[in-house]
């Protein structure tokens, strides 16, 4: 059962092949058995089983809900009432959220059963899940390699059968890149489609929550429950949520897939390139047309992002000062000393690095040279996508330049680490939706991910294009051999 998709589990629950209590117990047992992956920070076994019993009782009474009885996990960045919410940081190690994030509340209302909170890079800052205060997460395809980040714990939970689905957040690729490295499907919705209320902020103009699942159909089911306007979030868009599952299965004949020449230059692994080319051949077989498009300013996305995101992080993380909540240093001589020591002891190295970069770029002498110039570059990158979509319906390319790399291989070289997001960051800067899906393996047996990018709020088409590929192939059904 742990290998089945959410759609298949819902069918099994509906026809009483298995109960939610049995299914939840199965996942909890697997989490305990494979604790070495370090996918979870906090487990909620008693709560999960109680919710599962309630789901079974509701089903017996003839009640229903879109995800009734399905065990899922939340990235530990979503506030969950009464449950520890750490954001992977010492700063929030003991923080018990007093309310539910909108995403948490909506999935609860949809009947999903919460197994626990997954590990993540500290405050979502990282591409390998090695910056977590609670230790690195291991990739189930090779436990000596990274799962990607920052939503690495969620990706591993789904890939290794430790949850039927999970939530993640994506600021510069943090859903799609770990999805690619772990061989699952990860969807970053359009900015404003999913509420950010109760989602601990990293970079407010870039962060977006989304689902991490085994298939595009499952992503549609999860997004259906997560999406929608929220008056408590000023960045939430008041727009009707379509039936994402209803459009799956439509013909791809005549679909125009744009392939940016800039995504296939120096730095792309030959194995990844081969996997993407094979995937495009599948789409040709389905009647799609492949056309060349240009994203000339995409090469500027990385430096643009690593000015804007740290600037916003510097502002958002100023609230962690030891006064109101979170970690407070036990020894201090004055208020200023408490501020300094609390932040020095509570934040990890990567978070400090980004705060310092952001504070520097926002300072009076450098604001125009760095922050304002980056905003202008962001506009150019957004316009590039608009021009590209005049020639195509979706854009395709690699999710990451390589497959999963060894643990600690890039921890001493921040620039090399940042380059892992080179293909995903432009999407966040433009606020577009994108999905990563598995399209094969490299010579070491590690998953390769294809990224599909859509127009604003065109998730239905994006999911249908991903689903069409998965109906023709079975890469999304492959499972890490050591975790069968």
Write out the H or E segment, with its range, that includes residue 74: strand 71-75
User: From residue 385, how far is each of 284, 360, 427 by CA, in Å?
Assistant: 23, 30, 9
Alpha helices by DSSP H, 34-128:
45-60, 102-109
Number of helices (H), then strands (E), in the chain:
15, 11
Q: Which residues contact 277 (CB under 8 A, 6 or more apart)?
A: none
Phi-psi region of 246 (alpha: psi -120 to 50; beta: other; left: phi over 0): alpha
Other C-beta atoms closer than 10 Å to the C-beta of 60 total 10
Give CA–CA dist 467/453, Å, rounded. Answer: 14
116 — phi, psi (to 5°)? 170, -170
Angle at which helices 349-362 and 301-316 pack, to 10 degrees?
Answer: 100
3 state DSSP class of 142: strand
Q: In what order do the strands lie in the sheet with 394-398?
A: 40-43, 113-118, 71-75, 165-170, 208-213, 185-188, 434-441, 447-453, 394-398, 256-260, 289-293
User: From residue 336, how far is each of 258, 274, 329, 340, 342 by CA, in Å?
Assistant: 54, 56, 12, 6, 10
Radius of gyration over alpha carbons of the chain, in Å?
21
Q: What is the set of active-site residues?
A: 75, 150, 174
Give CA–CA dist 73/467, Å, rounded. Answer: 23
3 state DSSP class of 135: coil
């Amino acid at each position: 059962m742990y290998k089945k998709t959410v759609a298949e589990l819902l069918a099994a629950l509906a026809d009483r092949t298995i109960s939610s209590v049995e299914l939840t117990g199965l996942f909890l047992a697997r989490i305990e058995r494979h604790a070495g992956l370090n996918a979870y920070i906090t487990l909620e076994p008693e709560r999960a089983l109680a919710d599962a019993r309630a789901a079974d009782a509701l089903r017996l009474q003839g009640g229903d809900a879109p995800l009734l009885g399905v065990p899922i996990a939340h990235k530990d960045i979503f506030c969950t009432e009464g449950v520890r919410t750490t954001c992977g940081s010492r700063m929030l190690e003991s923080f018990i959220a007093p309310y539910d994030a909108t995403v948490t509340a909506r999935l609860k209302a949809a009947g999903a059963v919460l197994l626990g909170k997954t590990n993540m890079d500290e405050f979502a800052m990282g591409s390998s899940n090695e910056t977590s205060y609670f230790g690195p997460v291991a990739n189930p395809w090779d436990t000596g390699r990274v799962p990607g980040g920052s939503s690495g714990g969620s990706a591993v939970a789904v890939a290794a059968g430790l949850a039927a689905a999970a939530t993640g957040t994506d600021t510069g690729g943090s859903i799609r890149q770990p999805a690619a490295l772990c061989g699952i499907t990860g969807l970053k919705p359009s900015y404003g489609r999913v509420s950010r209320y109760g989602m601990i902020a990293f970079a407010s103009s870039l962060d977006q929550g989304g689902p991490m699942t085994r298939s595009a159909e499952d992503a549609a089911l999860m997004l259906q429950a997560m999406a929608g306007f929220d008056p408590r979030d000023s960045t939430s868009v008041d727009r009707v949520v379509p039936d994402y599952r209803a459009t799956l299965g439509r013909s791809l004949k005549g679909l125009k897939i744009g392939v940016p020449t800039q995504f296939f230059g120096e730095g792309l692994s030959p194995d990844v390139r081969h996997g993407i080319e094979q995937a495009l051949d599948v789409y040709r077989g389905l009647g799609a047309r492949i056309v060349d498009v240009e994203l000339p300013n995409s090469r500027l996305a990385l430096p643009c992002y690593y000015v804007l995101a740290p600037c916003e992080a510097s502002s958002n993380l100023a609230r962690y000062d030891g006064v109101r909540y979170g970690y407070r240093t036990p020894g201090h001589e004055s208020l200023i000393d408490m501020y300094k020591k609390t932040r020095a002891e509570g934040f990890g190295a990567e978070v400090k690095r980004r705060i310092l970069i952001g504070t520097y770029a926002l300072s009076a002498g450098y604001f125009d040279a760095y922050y304002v110039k980056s905003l202008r570059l962001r506009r150019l990158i957004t316009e590039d996508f608009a021009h590209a979509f005049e020639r195509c319906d979706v854009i395709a390319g690699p999710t990451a330049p390589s497959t999963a790399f060894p643990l600690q291989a890039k921890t001493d070289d921040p620039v090399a680490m940042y380059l892992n997001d080179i293909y995903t960051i432009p999407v966040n800067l433009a606020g577009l939706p994108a999905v990563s899906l598995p399209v094969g393996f490299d010579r070491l047996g590690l998953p390769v991910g294809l990224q599909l990018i859509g127009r604003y709020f065109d998730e239905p088409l994006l999911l249908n294009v991903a689903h069409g590929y998965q109906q023709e192939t079975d890469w999304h059904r492959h499972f890490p051999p050591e975790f069968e």
